[in-house]
Amino acid sequence: MRKADVAVVGAGFTGLAAALELARTGYKVCVVEKDTEAGGLAGSFRVGGERLEKFYHHWFASDADMMALIRSLGREDQILARPTRTGMYYAHRFFRLSGPKDVLCFTPLSFVNRLRLGYVALAARRVKDWRQLESCTAKEWLVEHCGEEVYRVVWEPLLVGKFGVYAAEVSAVWIWNKLKLRGGSRGKAGQEVLAYYRGGFAALVDEIVAQIRQLGGEVLLGCAAESVTSADEKVTGVTTSAGEITARAVLLTTPLPVSARLLRDACSAQYVESLRKIRYLSNICIVLELSRSLSSTYWLNVNDPSFPFVAVIEHTNFEPASTYDGRHIVYLSKYLPPEDALYRMSDGEAVKFAMAALKRMFPEFEAAWVTNSTVWRADYSQPIVGLRHSELIPAMQGELGNLYLAAMGQVYPEDRGTNYAVRNGVDAAKKIAVVLPLQSAIEMPHSLNGAF
Ligand SMILES: Cc1cc2nc3c(=O)[nH]c(=O)nc-3n(C[C@H](O)[C@H](O)[C@H](O)COP(=O)(O)OP(=O)(O)OC[C@H]3O[C@@H](n4cnc5c(N)ncnc54)[C@H](O)[C@@H]3O)c2cc1C
């Protein structure tokens, strides 16, 4: 039996940011993570001697909470900010779409419509209160601001690629936020500047885990939470695959449907059901290691409905191939319901399927270029942001007084992202600190007593 002030379930960025903040405040934290590595959706695997994200990851220049976390670790010199090339595949052709000049040269649209495409970013910046968009679909808002043709050529394929059959339901808040975010991540010349971490996101995860442990906290990997325990209208801890943890407060950072399952015995049926209201899409990422580069574009949006992936991301046009012993890394990503045939294919079938699609897009591509391939799947990868989404989001403070929830599904009005995971994790920690008296100094390692 372990004892902690706060048991944190999940070692993704929300759980890690919360645990670090709590440990810095002086609480004894115990983080339990079912995977054998920390990082959650931003977790990594080995490519040669380096670690690479299972699902492509970068930061925007506007990701202030993440930058603040990195600064607090004294590691801002590890942030790599670089201009990137964005493109679009449309009607079997490649277009560059990295900045305002490229928009003006985007020939699939009439000149007037190119201006309307550029205008939509300005329209997004003019929205002062996202609540006014909550009852409007992304389609309605986009058609109003840039017209039918721009919607059909540019936005509809992206919405369908990202949300599939749910595309028509997606709220204007979602697209507004994406436009605002990308607009805020541009350099002086208007080109997009994205950021990465030296050694990959895994290196940052390592730093956070090390600091939590140094402050007397525990991070238990390969340890799955099975249920939250309660008595007298309070949570008392967590039952895990490695035994019981008693805690004065519990923070769940797991996907909301998983939290519902963990709370089935501790909370009312009505509360548990309310955590199942937000629907999620799954994601499959096929990572190809190639002996040659496909193109000079980092991020290629696919606006061709016959291509079965929403984007082709050549990671090594962002972080150089030399980092991975000369391997060129390409991600093919698709958001889909978990029952989709592609999600259920074996890894071998999925790679074969991806390579055939890539060959149609890049006829010069040869199977022999693929030196290795890996397939990653995540059941809960993208909450579906529909109309009046705010009404479905559970409060951070759970039904029982000392239960807290901070999960990807609660990030709003922004879309999910590691920056918002950090923001929510830190917010949850601060909320806990307001009500939970500090009493664990004596349980801290001797060398750290008095350090706060
Ligand atoms: C394809 C894709 C691309 C993305 N690209 C970017 C990007 O470029 N930039 C960016 O900032 N963000 C990106 N994101 C989003 C980002 O990964 C997430 O927003 C963020 O990682 C969420 O962190 P989290 O801690 O809230 O959730 P998660 O990372 O989901 O963490 C939850 C943790 O809980 C654990 N868990 C689940 N059940 C249990 C249990 N029973 N017991 C113990 N542990 C459990 C999970 O294993 C996981 O580690 C991307 C996501 C995807 C899917």
**Tokens linked to 409:** 């599904």
pLDDT at 451: 34
Q: Is 259 in the pocket of ligand 1 (CB under 6 A)?
A: no
Q: Is 41 in the pocket of ligand 1 (CB under 6 A)?
A: yes
Low-confidence ranges of the chain (pLDDT < 50): 441-452
Q: What distances in angstroms separate CA 183 from CA 62, 177, 179, 192, 232, one per listed residue?
A: 9, 10, 6, 8, 50
Contact by Cβ (8 Å): 252, 275: no
In this structure, the residue with its CA closest to atom 12 of ligand 1 is 417
**pLDDT tens digit string along 297-325?**
999 999 988 899 999 999 999 999 999 99
Taking the centre of ligand 1 as the mean of its atom positions, its distance from the CA of residue 374, in whole angstroms, is: 18
Taking the centre of ligand 1 as the mean of its atom positions, its distance from the CA of residue 391, in whole angstroms, is: 23
Beta-carbon contacts of 168 under 8 Å, excluding residues fewer than 6 positions away, are: 137, 139
Q: Is 417 in the pocket of ligand 1 (CB under 6 A)?
A: yes
Taking the centre of ligand 1 as the mean of its atom positions, its distance from the CA of residue 39, in whole angstroms, is: 7
pLDDT at 305: 84
Best of 263, 418, 420 to mutate for ligand 1, by most ligand atoms within 8 A of CB? 418
Question: Which atom of ligand 1 is nearest to 424's Cα?
Answer: 26
Beta strands in 199-294 (DSSP E): 218-221, 225-231, 234-240, 243-252, 280-290
Greatest alpha-carbon span in the chain:
70
* Percent above pLDDT 70 for the chain: 95
Question: Which atom of ligand 1 is nearest to 63's Cα?
Answer: 11
In this structure, the residue with its CA closest to atom 7 of ligand 1 is 57
Question: Which atom of ligand 1 is nearest to 38's Cα?
Answer: 49
pLDDT at 192: 80
Residue pointed to by tokens 């040669």: 48
pLDDT at 449: 36
* Percent above pLDDT 90 for the chain: 86
C-alpha to C-alpha distance for 172 and 111, rounded to whole angstroms: 25
3-state class percentages of the chain: helix first, strand second, coil last, to nearest 5: 40, 25, 35
Taking the centre of ligand 1 as the mean of its atom positions, its distance from the CA of residue 42, in whole angstroms, is: 6
- With vertex at residue 68, the alpha carbon angle to CA 64 and CA 72, rounded to the nearest 5 degrees, is 175
Orientation angle between helical segments 418-435 and 64-72, nearest 10 degrees: 70
Q: Is 58 in the pocket of ligand 1 (CB under 6 A)?
A: yes
pLDDT at 144: 95
Q: Is 177 in the pocket of ligand 1 (CB under 6 A)?
A: no
Q: Give this prediction's pTM.
A: 0.94
Question: Which atom of ligand 1 is nearest to 224's Cα?
Answer: 42
Q: Please give the span between the terminal C-alpha atoms of the chain, in angstroms, as a whole number.
A: 27
Beta-carbon contacts of 110 under 8 Å, excluding residues fewer than 6 positions away, are: 149
Beta strands in 10-64 (DSSP E): 29-33, 44-47, 50-53, 59-60
**Tokens linked to 358:** 């890539």
Question: Which atom of ligand 1 is nearest to 240's Cα?
Answer: 42
Question: Which atom of ligand 1 is nearest to 380's Cα?
Answer: 30
Taking the centre of ligand 1 as the mean of its atom positions, its distance from the CA of residue 231, in whole angstroms, is: 30
C-alpha to C-alpha distance for 280 and 63, rounded to whole angstroms: 23
Question: Which atom of ligand 1 is nearest to 420's Cα?
Answer: 19
Q: Is 323 in the pocket of ligand 1 (CB under 6 A)?
A: no
pLDDT at 188: 62
pLDDT at 100: 84
C-alpha to C-alpha distance for 92 and 360, rounded to whole angstroms: 9
Q: Is 9 in the pocket of ligand 1 (CB under 6 A)?
A: yes
Q: What distances in angstroms separate CA 271 from CA 233, 238, 385, 393, 400, one per listed residue?
A: 14, 18, 21, 12, 10
pLDDT at 208: 98
Residue 227 pairs in a beta bridge with: 239
